[in-house]
Structure 1
């Protein structure tokens, strides 16, 4: 997303009458992952989700960015939450993660921000819900520090490494499918997710070079799945599978998410070897057979 010319918001906007109903987000659309929490506000790095409530009318939103102006009276709800910006960019987005204004709310660059959200009429029929969103540098006293992003160097076991950050919506759907499963596959519980922009654009060889080894030179991770641009560009999520077992030189191949759970489990149990799966790819280089 081209946003280098987007100005910093300085002060308060006029009320914005949105054209569609739906939840809101203050986020960097090119970074972060969706919050797992529930409730009015929930946050992860670079991403704040705001529940717009059950009212089916299009919301009205006022934004503020700058120094802390203090909470305002006269609202049904006022809540605060800490958001860590790793990229120095935050903007207001709709439920499809599309920016609603071309303004940057991260006025102090990368760092910690306190977001205070005022709301009224979130669940009132025939009334447009109203929001005032204040974004300013700082943190709540006693707030839990944001955990650092996982790194390849510190991880162990089967890995899923994200190397493409241009499709945050697809990445969010991939994570949800891995964690919750679907009608076609079970959750993949034995895999460690590495979602760190430090590895943007990394090749398979670069990733393998970062994996730690023990005193006997055995790798901490012998199997890697890579979520690259091609993998995130398809509804099948054809992840790139890479073998990191010593003394084996199997070429990488792609495997759909629906088949990946069985693949990871069987490789971990040593029921099959990497080459057997690689031999089952279709003409386009993707393995699709689903079995356990």
Structure 2
């Protein structure tokens, strides 16, 4: 599975055999002498088809998707298949993994993975807030364009590792907030240093364009760079280079095109 937004509070295990796995060993673990090359994986997303008999091992876990997108990924969190497994949108999902032939020489390991929408009564996660967040922020302030926002989130999920530092704030409380109002919400430490020094805003203008020209705001103390717009495609390299100290906020703002949008990518 792709990396989940949040793990559920409990993990339930159902064994098809009396043998329980050794400590630290799960269905995706590699045992000594085991051949894991090119396993056979079958995905099933949607209504619960029930536990399928005849498998060596079965495990279940609960994950919560806050973005409405789940994907099967490799160990580097790169999607193996582009199919969105979150068939019911944001919310909790039961993930049931069946496995066989994991320790049989000469056979390919086989997996059946079922992703089932779970009970949503009272389980919706509380929307994240700026006050609780740290690091680079992507804050949504326009909530009348749900489809473009969903496409933006999918682009983040399928994008490179350069987006991993971003904390997404998708909370209707911030509808219509200006950059100054959002900056005022960012927490600070005892020395008055902000928990987030870089802010990207997904406002109505950003969501109205397929490039998603986000409004970039410098929140470093004692710096007065003007905000500028940067496309989502360029934002990954922007964040990485700012975080590493390779470039300054002003270096990027001065490189915007004539329409005020920065589009170049630097890795």
In 1, distance between residues paired with 2:247 and 2:229?
A: 17
Among 44, 47, 64, the alignment partner of 2:90 is: 44
Contact 1:238 1:255 in 2 (8 A): yes
The partner residue of 1:175 within 153, 156, 164 is 153
1:150 aligns with 2:184: no
Match of 1:34 in 2: 68
Q: Distance in 2 between matches of 1:280 and 1:39?
A: 39
Residues 1:272 and 1:197: Cα distance change in structure 2 (over 3 Å): same
1:213 aligns with 2:247: no
Residue 169 of structure 2 corresponds to which residue in structure 1?
194
Q: Residues 149, 80 of structure 1: CA spacing in aligned structure 2 closer, same or farther, 3 A cutoff?
A: closer
When you count helix as a share of all residues, which structure comes out higher? 2
1:236 aligns with 2:214: no
Would the aligned equivalents of 1:177 and 1:187 in 2 still touch at CA under 8 Å? Answer: no
Deviation of 1:162 (Å): 0.4
Q: Does the aligned pair in 1 maintain the 2:138–2:200 contact within 8 Å?
A: yes
Name which of 235, 238, 241 aligns with 1:266.
Answer: 241
Q: 2-side partners of 1:246 and 1:163: how far apart? A: 23
Residue 82 of structure 1 corresponds to 119
Q: Distance in 2 between matches of 1:288 and 1:262?
A: 11
CA shift, 1:202, in A, is: 0.6
Cα distance in 1 for residues equivalent to 2:214 and 2:229 = 5
3-state SS, counterpart of residue 193 of structure 1: strand
Please say if residues 238 and 286 of structure 1, whose CA atoms lie closer than 8 Å, have aligned partners that are also in contact: yes
8 Å Cα contact 1:238/1:254 also seen in 2: yes
Taking the TM superposition and a 5 Å limit, the aligned residue runs for 1:152-167 are 152-167=130-145
Query: What is the rounded CA distance, in whole Å, between the counterparts of 1:279 and 1:39 in structure 2?
Result: 41
State the Cα deviation string for residues 71-101 of structure 1 (Å, max 9, x = none): xxxxxxxx87433xxxxxxxxxxxxxxxxxx
Could you say if the C-alpha distance between residues 272 and 80 of structure 1 is closer, same or farther in structure 2, counting changes exceeding 3 Å? closer
Count of aligned pairs: 170
Find the aligned partners of 1:224 and 1:278 in 2 and give their Cα distance: 14
Q: Distance in 2 between matches of 1:208 and 1:170?
A: 24
State how 1:119-138 maps to structure 2 within 5 Å. Answer: none
User: Using the alignment, how far apart are the partners of 2:190 and 2:136 within structure 1?
Assistant: 20
TM-score, with normalisation over the residues of structure 2? 0.58
1:290 and 1:41, CA in 2 relative to 1: closer, same or farther beyond 3 A? Answer: closer
| Structure 2 portions without partners, runs of 5+ | 1-45, 47-65, 72-83, 94-115
SS of 1:82's equivalent? coil
Q: Classify 1:220/1:280 alpha carbon distance in 2 versus 1 (closer, same or farther; 3 Å).
A: same
| CA–CA separation in structure 2 for the residues paired with 1:179 and 1:39 | 13
Corresponding residue to 1:250 among 225, 236, 240: 225
Q: SS at 1:153's partner residue?
A: helix
